Structure 1
Amino acid sequence: MADAAPPAAAIVELRAGTVSRAVDGVMKTDPVTLPYHWDRMNGARPGEARFDLPFTLAETPAEPWGLFIARVGTAFEIGLNGKLLQRYGDLGQGGGADYAKAPIYVPLPAHLLHAGANAVQVRIRADSGRRAGLSVLSLGPAARVRSALFEPAYAWRFTGSVLLAAFSIVVGTISLALWLTQADNTAHGGRRRENLYLWAALAEFCWALRVADGAIRQPPLPWVAWGVLMTACYSGWAGSAVMFCQHLAGWHERKEMKWLQRAIVFVFTMPVIACYFSLTRSEPQWLTGWLALEIVALIAYAVFFMGAAVRRPNVARVLIASVAALTVAVGTRDWLVIRLSDSYGDTTWVRYTSLFFALALLGIVVDRFREASAQARELLHTLAARVAERERDLALAYDRLERGAREQERTQERERILRDMHDGVGSHISAAIRQLQSGQASQDALLRTLRDSLDQLKLSIDSIQLPHGDAQALLAGLRYRLSPRFERSGIALEWAVDALQPVARLDAPAMRQLQFLLFEAVSNVLQHAQARVLRIEAAMHGDAVRIRVIDDGIGFDATQVPCALAARATALGAPLRVESRAGHTVVQVDLQ
């Protein structure tokens, strides 16, 4: 009980009393001094206990009081002077909720406190391996107990666990996103994803779940399964942190380090098996022993890593080595206090030092990502320079090809002119030579042949400048070149050409074929028709351009279309219509 009657406004600590405990069906009552560590006092066997903790007040409090308990559980109920105040969990069924994870505050009604002897009754149900027991009780004025004792303890143990878990999830998510967003080109002989980020993500996710256990009073799994899962998370965090260090140092690719990876799997898997045996058999020494082996392995690896960091230092290695040394030291402290000593009410410190590991990990990941981004920018700059150089080469090649194409086009045009001169002018000159050689041609016939040759030569030269598809310009050139001959021949020219739309399919070869077709029709009139009037008509006939050459000459047999006209129309791909009788001959072509 309390040693003396304190003032009514002071905080009272309850450390002594009696405990009645039932383990394996055996009830015992003994004096007790708090804190009371159930697993140490009862061999980790499950059971129940009732604590009676007397205290004395000099006077009845004039203000509300409150009770603070740093740790109590697994399930419990609290009473004051024989009156039940609060109950947490089901005391009749084990393996359920665990209320020892967060500090407890219980309001004490002022009317239940009185001057003289008082007593607090605490009844608990203890599950094996869940750190059941009862810490020192503190009671006093409600405002002081809440502000000075409960709120700081709650912030460190419960709120701190939630914030640490959230931070680890954020860091793990960033690391996993960096790993997933890397291009995996192994199928094409490229680089693999950098698993440094993957191990960082696994470490943080394991630790997030492990730390979140401090805020989960009602686990989603039965106690044994949940306890094994928490041990697996702890070992998964430690193993992933070691693999992170392996990748950070570049040792994971060395053949001589393969044994270390197999050792990591063994060392950090066995605690999970040991935890199962400890919880199912109520023998905590299995888990304590393997955790000791795990800590020894971590210390050895940390020393090895720190030695490598000293020999070949860089910012990342020194940072992780420092955090590893701190984490191992704090983890050793937790193992001694939590697993070996009789201390009760203390919490693990390693959950807070893991914050430094997460910050260091996040800094390394972000720094590596920054370096990768800088390399990517440099690569893009180099690629852009190469693309620009390639574009210059392509431009030069295109310029050479364009010059070659223009030269080829000029060559083809020269060849066309030569063909036209050979087929047109050449044939007329050959005809004139034959006429002279025969001695039978009249001077007028020979003159007409030579004039046809000259006119065709002029028209061949004009065709070079004709726009594609412009039939109206073609007709205008024809009129300009042949009008003097019409006058000398005494033939009146009637011109009935309307505004014509361009014909898209009349390219340069087609324009020449049309020009020669019309010249052939006009030349026949000049040479053979004995006409007095020549009429040239051109107009739009729907979407087609219709051109007609009409004369009032002597006519000819229209069933025998002149070969030159038929050949030109066929080459042009245009329908040709010829009708002739004395006094009226029509040559018609439709262009679409």
Structure 2
Amino acid sequence: MKIFPLFTAPLFNHRRTVQQRFWLFFLLWISSGLIFSYAQAAEQFPSVDQGWFVFSSTDSPPPASATWTPVHLPDNWNVSHPNQGGTGWYRFHIQGTYHDSELWGIYLPRLSVNAQLFINGQLVGSGGRFIEPVAHNSYRPLFFGFPGQLLHSGDNVIDIRLLGYANEGSGLSPFKIGRADALETDYQHQFSLQVIAPTISFVLLILLSLMLFIIWLRRRQETIYLMFSLCGGFSTLYTAAFFIQEVPWLTHSQWLWLIFSSAMWYVYCVMLLIHRFVKVHRPTLEKALLAYTITGPLIIGILPSNYRLELFGLLGLGFAVLSLYVLIIIFHYRHHCSRKETWLLFCSILFSAIMGYHDLINLLITQREVPIYYFYWGSTIVGIAIAFLLLLRFDQSLHLFEALNRDLHHLVEQKSRALNQSYQERQTLETRQAVFRERERIMRDLHDGLGGYLVSALVQAEKQPLQTFPLQQTLRAALNDLRLMIDSLDGDPIDLASQLGSLRDRLETGMDASGAQLHWLVTDSPHLPNPNASNNLQLMRMIQEIFTNIAKHSRAHHVYFCVAPNILEIKDDGVGFAVDSPHLGRGLPNLRLRAHELGISLHIDSSPSGTAIHLTW
């Protein structure tokens, strides 16, 4: 008989191999959880466990004359100081010889609720706030590094100020002191287990819950997806207690009530989820358990907070019975699911139940050790398992629909692409034709009107070159400006390369006339933020203005024109100018104004060895 048939499934069946991989991942997750939950880092330093204790509300270490009593760690206040809470002080004396140049550290693997560390009366570290809302460090290790000069040869006093609450298992476990670099290895191991692992579980469950909640929004009739979203929400709220230190607006008592209530609600939602998964309809039982889940935490919230954990432990006995009921339901109605689904649900919920029983024992039975909780491991395993099964069912329900829709979708895409391409081609053609017609009209107007007059005036002026040289320059500049306007009407406003190419000839002519050599370095066509004919014209005018100033004032021998997709740079080796001079005229302000209107950045560097102008966007 094959107990787990999926391990013997054909290797070339894609759906089966995916399930095989998930089983392997699932078993490895459980194994790692069990191993990591009880693993301890290798001890490199002896633990400190003998000291003195006193209750004191002072902010600094109490004097030696206080009523100190001997203490042996681990110290659980439920055992050593029942029904007492507040601020307690632990004092330890250590002997030794220390080097001032070394960085030392103290590693507190387990405590409750918050701690501060003093070395020879000096504060070296704190876990956070000691007043409401207090910092919660009950489920995380603390590490305090300090310089070696705080320790001196002979007797050293270590004081640990601990904030604890009555009947909540507050206290301190043995700690270590040693070189910080070596001791931090133990701390990082425990931090990964107690903080990073819950954080990963939190994120994972949030993502799974959101994913299935979105599926439920699209398939409202299948409430099983909503049940999982609720399970994930309550589970993440409970898991948050393991990595969130400070909760604004909530006191310690309120936060404790919230996280333990969420654990109860999680178990109730798991029961609802399993009912719907195996198709069991028991509304009377669900309503009775709903009343139990609502009234229990509410009554505990009204009662004094000194006995809150014990009351939650007693309330948790009912949910422990509920977890057994869920396991029985899965086994009894196993024929409603496939064998793989039955085993996956049963094993994951059994693991979660075992972790819950462990935490329930810590709530109900007082021990010397400061309690540590593992239920978040179980809730994460159950969340992953159920989410996998729900997503697999959702995938199966959509598989046939996707197969039938695939060909139609492919055909629609083909037709859409063809229509879109035809539309784009038509729009491009119409645009090019319109630009071409407008350009031809302007060319005719220029030829017959303004252009003809300018050319005629230039010919007449050239007959007397010496007397009309300034007039010739003005006429040539006017003609160049007209050509620039015509070039800006090119059909593709995004492609500036052709317009720059047209401009290059005129720029080289101007540079040759001024005795400078133009070096043209265009690696790619630039792309303005908002490309259109007007903006292209503005950019061409800026370039033309810059080269006009170079020809007039720089006395340069070499001019470099560099263009990339998002930058345009013009350099010369001329005499430079004072950028901040008030006598520069309107050229530079006009350049800045055009740059601002185009949404580009203008930066000018000038010195006696040359000028560099950068346009970036």
Quote the Cα distance in structure 2 between the aligned partners of 1:326 and 1:310.
Answer: 22
**Among residues 262, 267, 274, which one is paired with 1:245 in the alignment?**
274
Give how far 1:330 is off: 1.6
Query: Which residue in 2 is equivalent to 1:301?
Result: 326
Give how far 1:139 is off: 1.1
1:42 counterpart = 2:63: no
Give how far 1:133 is off: 1.9
The 5 Å alignment of 1:24-173 reads 29-57=68-96, 63-91=102-130, 93-128=131-166, 131-147=169-185, 149-173=186-210
Give how far 1:18 is off: 0.9
Quote the Cα distance in structure 2 between the aligned partners of 1:367 and 1:52.
Answer: 57
SS of the residue corresponding to residue 242 of structure 2 reads helix
The 5 Å alignment of 1:438-457 reads none
Quote the Cα distance in structure 1 between the aligned partners of 2:406 and 2:181.
Answer: 65
Quote the Cα distance in structure 2 between the aligned partners of 1:339 and 1:217.
Answer: 25
Quote the Cα distance in structure 1 between the aligned partners of 2:73 and 2:335.
Answer: 47
SS of the residue corresponding to residue 215 of structure 1 reads coil
String of CA shifts for 1:519-574, please: whole Å, max 9, x gaps. xxxxxxxxxxxxxxxxxxxxxxxxxxxxxxxxxxxxxxxxxxxxxxxxxxxxxxxx
Query: Which residue in 2 is equivalent to 1:337?
Result: 362
Q: TM-score, normalised by structure 2?
A: 0.53
Query: Which residue in 1 is equivalent to 2:381?
Result: 356
Give the partner amino acid of 2:237.
Answer: L
String of CA shifts for 1:420-453, please: whole Å, max 9, x gaps. xxxxxxxxxxxxxxxxxxxxxxxxxxxxxxxxxx
> Any conservation in 2 of the 1:274–1:290 contact (CA below 8 Å)?
no
> Which stretch shifts more, 273-282 or 312-321?
273-282
Give how far 1:235 is off: 1.4
String of CA shifts for 1:466-496, please: whole Å, max 9, x gaps. xxxxxxxxxxxxxxxxxxxxxxxxxxxxxxx
Give the partner amino acid of 1:112.
Answer: L
SS of the residue corresponding to residue 194 of structure 1 reads coil
1:326 counterpart = 2:364: no
Say which structure, 1 or 2, has more relative contact order (CA 8 Å, 6+ apart).
Answer: 2
The 5 Å alignment of 1:181-220 reads 181-182=218-219, 193-220=221-248
Quote the Cα distance in structure 2 between the aligned partners of 1:114 and 1:278.
Answer: 50
**Based on CA coordinates, which of the two structures has the bigger radius of gyration?**
1
Query: Which residue in 2 is equivalent to 1:178?
Result: 215
Quote the Cα distance in structure 1 between the aligned partners of 2:195 and 2:181.
Answer: 20
> Any conservation in 1 of the 2:105–2:177 contact (CA below 8 Å)?
yes
Q: Across the two proteins, how many residue pairs are aligned to each other?
A: 358
Quote the Cα distance in structure 2 between the aligned partners of 1:281 and 1:38.
Answer: 13
1:233 counterpart = 2:262: yes
Identify unmatched segments of 5+ residues in structure 2: 1-42, 58-65, 410-617
Q: TM-score, normalised by structure 1?
A: 0.56
> Any conservation in 2 of the 1:94–1:125 contact (CA below 8 Å)?
no
Give the partner amino acid of 1:239.
Answer: Y
Query: Which residue in 1 is equivalent to 2:253?
Result: 224
SS of the residue corresponding to residue 48 of structure 1 reads strand
Give the partner amino acid of 1:32.
Answer: V
RMSD: 2.9
Calculate percent identity across the aligned residue pairs.
16
> Any conservation in 1 of the 2:227–2:269 contact (CA below 8 Å)?
yes
> Any conservation in 2 of the 1:204–1:358 contact (CA below 8 Å)?
yes
How has the CA–CA distance of structure 1 residues 10 and 160 changed in structure 2, closer, same or farther, with 3 Å as cutoff? closer
How has the CA–CA distance of structure 1 residues 351 and 90 changed in structure 2, closer, same or farther, with 3 Å as cutoff? closer
Quote the Cα distance in structure 1 between the aligned partners of 2:125 and 2:162.
Answer: 12
SS of the residue corresponding to residue 214 of structure 1 reads coil
String of CA shifts for 1:381-417, please: whole Å, max 9, x gaps. 9999xxxxxxxxxxxxxxxxxxxxxxxxxxxxxxxxx
> Any conservation in 2 of the 1:65–1:110 contact (CA below 8 Å)?
yes
SS of the residue corresponding to residue 19 of structure 1 reads strand
How has the CA–CA distance of structure 1 residues 65 and 339 changed in structure 2, closer, same or farther, with 3 Å as cutoff? farther
Quote the Cα distance in structure 2 between the aligned partners of 1:132 and 1:12.
Answer: 23
Quote the Cα distance in structure 2 between the aligned partners of 1:39 and 1:240.
Answer: 32
> Any conservation in 1 of the 2:349–2:378 contact (CA below 8 Å)?
no
Identify unmatched segments of 5+ residues in structure 1: 1-8, 185-192, 385-592
Quote the Cα distance in structure 2 between the aligned partners of 1:305 and 1:56.
Answer: 60
Give the partner amino acid of 1:202.
Answer: L
Give how far 1:83 is off: 2.1
How has the CA–CA distance of structure 1 residues 161 and 311 changed in structure 2, closer, same or farther, with 3 Å as cutoff? closer
Give how far 1:127 is off: 3.1
SS of the residue corresponding to residue 119 of structure 1 reads strand
